[in-house]
Each structure stands twice: as structure tokens, then as C-alpha cells.
Structure 1
């Protein structure tokens, strides 16, 4: 989907999304441990790419991470700034991040790539590689399934991706996959996470 389509869909329901999924207390304990463990290995600037209402950005900021949140949806950035005024947030798209080449030590992309048309993933992952220094770290969360299969997400259309496919795309974009995790909670879509390092 285009940025404009995603922006329109989330802008219309930004407050609703924040009330349902915008608090750390509502996040899965496994995800809390996973993201905190990943961030603990990073020294230097990090972005939360597709930060939404900013709860993950704030969570890591409170743990001493030098982090900023970016999102294509201005309504999310406004909400995040109001909720967490001590954290830096700005409007930006993962398609063209306003970050210098090699300017970051880490990128968190936690379920922020799920609305991308699958054919766009190689470009987006290359953009994430561009902004990371060598040995910079990336953590991606997504819904595991048949690659490129769409599903009706609560906000707007999203896509599954298989672990194998995402791993191959990351390798093609200049990453080395460090580890993968999956989680299947009853009544929910399968979750997956991949940690990778910039070659």
C-alpha cells in the first residue's frame, strides 16, 4: 500500500488505535523481554520506525536507549509527543528516512512493515540497511504465514511473510540474520521476529 493509503487509514483511527494498542501494559510479556534484550546490545542512536503512538519508543527511552520515533502518520506523532514529551518524535516514511547513511546503531521495525505491498520489501529493507552503520542492529516483528498473502487487518489490508522469505530478503539487503523467534497464541495470528546485523 502507498504511504497515503496507510496514512489515511490510520489517521482516521489514531485515537482508537492508541486506546486499544497504545500502552506497554497491553503488550505481550514475551515482546517486552525480546525488545528490551535486543536494545540492550546497542550503543548509539536508534529509531523506532513506524512508532505509532510512541509506547515502544518511550519504553526504550526510559531504559536509557538513545531513541527517536518516526511515523508517516502525523496524528500518531502528535499523540506521541503529547504522551511522551521527553522523547523525540518526527514524521518520516520508511521509504525514505531522513537519516544520513550509516547514521544509526539500531532500527526497530515492530509490525511497521506489514502493510507494505510485498514487492516493496526489498527496497524498504535496503533503506533500513542504508541508515545503519556496519554491525548496526535491526529487529523486525511481523505476522508469519504464506508470503505475500493478504489479510484483513483491523485498520487496513496487511500481508503475511514467511520466516524463510523475510530472512532471504534481509540477506539480499545486506544483513546477516542473527536469530528468529515465533509465537502462536490461541485465537491470534502467528507472530514472528527476526534480529539481524548490518554486514
Structure 2
């Protein structure tokens, strides 16, 4: 089967910028108390469901959020579409597991995960393909498992052209929280919380949203 063009473009974009991206955002969590609080809440919810449950960051990039979740006591691994990002994550955090993979075909069995975090990883999927991604999220979560979604708020995509001087371009699709909640519920998950924060002055160009959901217990 021929791979969709948007997946090929996304992989090529992140392969090209992997090292520069990792350096640019290496300390981002240290300067974002809201992000750290959101991740801490996710970790607490997962541990409350099952202390030894498996967790995955879906679209992990260079692995910094995966590593942060590990530091919060989770048995967490990461997957990413970009082999360059995966290789970088493996070298930076050799104690953790990182795998190449797509949000459309997650390398987990049905109900294998107690927690899944999609930290700014749904932003490159065309809107009409998002139901497939959310169905995968629901498939890999165990009953009672928790999902965390983070994304930029908006209606128009942001086109990033030649980042760090590399000859690549990609659209970053912003989403409306109401639509993300609709997709989450349509996949059979219960939305438990939604938070939107304003952009940090001089750093971000859009509000940031965080949606928590849970797979109903059997």
C-alpha cells in the first residue's frame, strides 16, 4: 500500500531538523510550569489506575517528554514516525525504549496501555483522517486507561518553511477543543478534563489546549 503523502512529508521534515529541534526545545519543560503540571496530573491518573501499567508517548520526537514521564514514575516508551528522531531519542535516553511507528498503526496490542500521551502529535494529520487516529488511541488503551492530548488552538494551519535553514516545509494544523472532544467521544472515550492556556508572550503564537480522556471500564 502506498503511504499517504502527508506521512512522507512529515517524516522527511522531522528527519531533516531532528538535531536542531532537540537542541532548540531541550529545556522547554523547565520554563513551562503549566506543561509540567499537566504531565504530572497525567502520571498521577495513570498510577492511580494501575501502578505498573504500560504507558506510551505517541509521537515522541527526541524523547524529552517520554523521559520526563519516566521521571514521574511511569513505565513509558516512545514511538515516532521519524527514524532520525527515534535514533536521537535512543542515544540521549538509552535507558528507555523508542520505536519507529505511525499513529495509524500503533505497535501495541489491543488494550495494552494504561496510559497514552499524544503531546502535539495530532497536528500533522489532515482533519478527515483524525477519526482513524483516535480509533487507534482507543484500541490500544486498556479499560480505565487514560489519554492525554496536547495541541495548539486555532482554525488556520501554521506553515513552517525552511526551519533552522533546512529545505523542508510542513503545515502545523491547529485544532478547536470542541472538535477534539467530539472525536474523542466518537472513538468511545470519556472526556474528563479540558484546559486552555493563553500563549506565552514572545514565545508562542496560539493558545495551547490539553484534553484528558479515559476509556470506560469494562
TM range (shorter): over 0.9
Report if aligned partners of 1:71, 1:91 keep a CA contact under 8 Å in 2: yes
Name 1:105's counterpart in structure 2. 114
Alignment of 1:1-199 (within 5 A): 2-23=6-27, 25-42=29-46, 43=50, 44-146=53-155, 149-153=156-160, 156-185=170-199, 186-187=201-202, 188=204, 189-199=206-216
Unaligned segments of structure 2, at least 5 residues:
164-168
Shift of 1:24: 5.1
1:126 CA drift (Å): 0.5
After superposition, give the CA deviation of every residue in 1:78-104 in whole Å (9 maximum; x if it has no partner).
Answer: 111111111111111111001000010
Runs of 5+ unmatched residues, structure 1: none
Give the number of equivalent residue pairs.
197
**Farther off after superposition, 15-24 or 64-73:** 15-24
In the alignment, the residues of structure 2 paired with residue 25 and residue 139 of structure 1 have an alpha-carbon distance, to the nearest angstrom, of 16
Q: TM-score, normalised by structure 2?
A: 0.86
Q: Which moved more, 1:26-35 or 1:98-107?
A: 26-35
Other structure's SS at 2:121 match: coil
Structure exhibiting the larger radius of gyration computed from Cα positions: 2
The root-mean-square deviation of aligned C-alpha atoms, in Å, is 1.4
